Structure 1
Amino acid sequence: MKKSVLIILMLFIVEISSAQCAMCKAVVENGNESMGEGVNDGITYLMVFPYILVGTLFYFLYKHKQKEKN
């Protein structure tokens, strides 16, 4: 049950993460479409790393707690 909720949540987060902030949208509206795609890719690239770092931290904490239980 928890895994299916997590997967559904991740699908919604991916959809939201491809949206633009208001300032980026205003800048991109004045340019061409390929520039807009580049801005979106850059934003996504910059936002992925904090989530990877936090996820890795929680993974190692989880593994550490599992070893303490055994």
Structure 2
Amino acid sequence: MKSIYISILVFVLLLSNQMSAIAQCAMCRAGIENNVSNGETTIGAGLNMGILYLLSMPYLLALVLGYLWYRNAKKRKGKFLFHGEKY
């Protein structure tokens, strides 16, 4: 029961943090439009690379954790079969 309350608390905190991140979009857009109108296009490209970097990190983290879980489960399964235990 305690883990359910902790999960709900973490979810609410993450949700409230997301709202402040969405508020920054207008500032970024205004800054990029200002720089593009002045002829500087490198800042926009850098912002796009930053967005792609941030987009890839959760997937990379999930991939690494999934691999570690799979490797650990495979070791555990081999260990149980070696000793003659059935699961």
Normalised by the size of structure 2, how large is the TM-score?
0.42
